[in-house]
Amino acid sequence: MYISLRFFVFLCLSILTVSSVSGQTSELAKIRIEGVNEELAANIRNHMAISAESCDTPLSRLNRLAPQVRTNIRNAANALGYYHSTFELIFSEPEECWLLSIDMVPGDQILVENVSVHIAFSKEDQLLFQEIIDELPNMEKTPLHHGEYENIKNTLSARAIENGYFSARFQRAELRVDMSDYLAEIFIDFEPGPRFSFGEINIEPVPGFSQAFIESLVILEAGEPYSSDRLLEQRTNFDESRYFNIINVSPQLSRVNQGAVPINISLVPRARNAWSTGVGFTTDTGPRFRATYENRYINTRGHHIDSDLGLSPVRSQVNMAYIIPLNDPVRETLSFGTGFVTENAETYDSDRFKLEVAYRRQSASGWLETYSIDYLQDNYTVDLQQDNVTLTMPGYSLSKTVADDLIFPSRGWKLFGHIRGASDAMISDTTFVQVYGSGKGIISFGPGRFISKFEIGSTWIDVVEDLPASVRFFTGGDQKLRGY
């Protein structure tokens, strides 16, 4: 009991001590600056090392630090072109913490008279470095800003390193200031040197996948010019394949050989199997349950299975698709799917079975093309009409989505177009052609979003009653305006 009481007293004292220290450090030193604009005042504060001094620092020490403070102020003013500034500073203790008062006359700013940037690039590199020169800020006839001068140098160095110019250097980087004429000149001579290339692409074995399949996901080639953007594209390509949980694409700069940088690729696959479930409610279907199962790689060639189950009083379905990656596994697939849907809507009832073969390919510009053949058996009832129809429908669709965030976009757009048909001469009970298009746009509007969308469709058929309910157009629903 005695030990517990002593521990309790120690804990209370510790809390009091922490509270006391926190109370002391909550008071911060104050720096008051008069006679300057906000930009210069902020830069002076950023240069102040003395602001780290505690509140109980005696005035004698603060006054000894005054020469350092003067240097900080002068450097901060010079960095923004105020080379002729004058100022007075006074330390005082008006409250619990010390105060530094600075009364400043900044004077006229130095103006940049001339900027000369020369890059010794070869004809092969002209496009890249000319683009850099064109993007550099125009500093001539503007107030001198040391930060912009440093940004020019940093931009050149960073762009060179990003594109494999690892021996790049400045032959000259000079800022001249004429104090009497209030003018400055900038001279930069930059030599990129030779451009390095990608060397050997080393891929560590990945459990569950063949080496040939992993290589089909590699877009880098040995011998192509080194580029950080290309390394990022390679990482993105692995990520968009949805096979891997950890992705490392690492340049081996310490092993450069004759200007070639080896690249090491190591990958950790995602879990082979994935399940998910969810419940919800909509005005169309009432309560609903959904479950999905995915086998992400059933063999070493990356084949995978997607399946889902949906149950509700109005619509229930089960679907499964077997997907085969092709030459470009991320953007080119062949899939075989099947599914069954039973639907009891207000305007029709339908029990249908479907088989589908689809070839999908995404272009470099982001457009997704789908060529498909659907086999459909639909046992349906519309009003007093009951029928059982078989259709074999070739189709083609084209779509693209552009958004700043695919989950909750604040701006973007989506377009989708689809054409399909059937012929009674090809395993179908009727002949028709159908086109459909939709679009959606989102823009920010104050604190919210403005969303617009459209849908349009048309069907050419001799007798509309020959078309099964699942293929007809019905307006209304929780995602559309109600139609009559």
Residues of the chain with CATH 3.10.20.310: 26-105, 111-191, 197-269
pLDDT beyond 80 at 103 = yes
- Residue-level pLDDT at 477: 57
Which pLDDT value is given to residue 26?
36
% the chain with pLDDT above 70: 92
* Radius of gyration of the chain, Cα coordinates, nearest whole angstrom: 35
Full strand arrangement of the beta sheet holding 304-311:
273-282, 286-295, 304-311, 315-325, 332-344, 348-362, 368-382, 385-403, 412-422, 432-445, 448-461
Closest C-alpha to 317, from 296, 294, 347, 337: 337
Statement: 111-191 belongs to CATH 3.30.420.140: no
- Of 295, 315, 289, 324, the residue nearest 307 (C-alpha): 295
The mean of the pLDDT values for the chain is 88
Minimum mean pLDDT range among 88-102, 215-229, 237-251, 310-324: 88-102
pLDDT at residue 11, as a whole number: 37
* Average confidence (pLDDT) over 450-459: 93
Taking residues 79-100, report their average pLDDT: 90
Exposure of 95 by Cβ count < 10 A (0-12 exposed, 13-18 middle, 19+ buried)? exposed
Quick: pLDDT tens for 55-84. Answer: 888 889 999 999 999 999 999 999 999 999
Residue 95 reports pLDDT greater than 90: no
pLDDT of residue 132: 78
26-105 carries CATH number 1.10.10.10:
no
Predicted local distance difference test score (pLDDT) of residue 353: 96
Tell me the two tokens of residue 16. Answer: 């009091």
Predicted pLDDT at 2: 36
Mean pLDDT of the region 330-339: 97
pLDDT at 9 (0 to 100): 34
Check pLDDT > 90 for residue 265. yes
Tens-digit pLDDT profile for residues 19-54:
333 333 334 668 899 999 999 999 999 998 888 888
Ranges 27-36, 148-157, 278-287, 466-475, most confident: 148-157
pLDDT in tens, 179-222: 999 999 999 999 998 999 999 999 999 999 999 999 999 999 99
Which of 11-25, 395-409, 428-442 has the least mean pLDDT? 11-25
Domain 197-269: give its CATH code: 3.10.20.310
